[in-house]
Structure 1
Amino acid sequence: MPAVARETPRHPADPDPVRSTKAGAVFALGLVAAITGLLVGGVVPATLALLLARQARREAYRSGGYLTGAVWLRRGERLALAGLLLGAVTLTVAVVFGVFSWATGPVGQDFDPGID
């Protein structure tokens, strides 16, 4: 007969597990970063989300299991990284187009050919 895992009884003074509010904030900032990533405006919320995620992980670890929200935290981090990636792609494409535009432009001063 397989052993049945029994849940250890909780002490009455133990707090109830609650979702971390920082995990929700990381998800919201990550979502904003992913949406505005192509506009390069997603870099700021993505950076804030990643910094806040680091703090939230530390707090969840120190809480001993009473802070939940690891799934929301992971999703927010992934969205923030996607926002950073979209911003980097946008900047790279803008630089490449700028260099091609500069390279194919006129060289030197351009004088009117009708003037002698």
Structure 2
Amino acid sequence: MTTAAGPMPVAPPGSPRHPLDPDPTRATKARAVFALGLMGALTGLLIGGVVPATVALQLARQARREAYASEGFLTGAAWLRRGESLAWTGLALAAVTVVAAVVVGVIRLAEAPYGHDFAPNVD
């Protein structure tokens, strides 16, 4: 293994990071989590929001794990938090829709006539 010739760069005094460290960048998964969470929240009442919301929550777990492993060089925690909250909102809206549909179905079933409805001339 060979090293580059010349002196190593020296960090200015008071600098918290080494000059060879990479620049902090926003995680691309953070934007994806936000976009999927927004789609999940907007389509949550139509039950279709369950899929993007679930994918957003899975991506958020991966993005948090990668951000932790990067030791602070991946940013975007605010986008992750917003995306996760929107995804949970979408799942809650889908659950409310399912519960409302079940309640309406049970009420309609309870109002239906019980037994056979024979003609008036049948004993």
For normalisation by structure 2, the TM-score amounts to 0.83
Q: Given the alignment, which residue of 55, 58, 61 partners 1:51?
A: 58
d(CA) in 2 for partners of 1:36, 1:13:
45
Distance 1:22 1:7, change over 3 A: farther
Measured after TM superposition, the shift of residue 37 of structure 1 is 0.3
Larger Rg: 2
Aligned to 1:26, the other structure's residue is in SS state helix
d(CA) in 2 for partners of 1:35, 1:7:
47
2:19 match: 12
Aligned ranges 1:1-116 → 2 under 5 Å: 8-113=15-120
Q: Percent identity?
A: 68
Aligned to 2:99, the other structure's residue is in SS state helix
d(CA) in 2 for partners of 1:77, 1:60:
15
Measured after TM superposition, the shift of residue 110 of structure 1 is 2.3
Measured after TM superposition, the shift of residue 10 of structure 1 is 3.4
Question: What is the aligned-residue RMSD (CA, Å)?
Answer: 1.7
d(CA) in 2 for partners of 1:82, 1:7:
44
d(CA) in 2 for partners of 1:76, 1:36:
14
Measured after TM superposition, the shift of residue 12 of structure 1 is 2.8
Aligned to 2:109, the other structure's residue is in SS state helix
1:3 match: none
Task: Specify every segment of 5 or more residues in structure 1 that has no aligned partner in the other structure, as ranges.
Answer: 1-5
Measured after TM superposition, the shift of residue 8 of structure 1 is 1.8
Matched letter for residue 69 of structure 2? R
Measured after TM superposition, the shift of residue 112 of structure 1 is 3.3
Task: Specify every segment of 5 or more residues in structure 2 that has no aligned partner in the other structure, as ranges.
Answer: 1-12
In the alignment of these two chains, the number of paired residues is: 111
Distance 1:11 1:99, change over 3 A: same
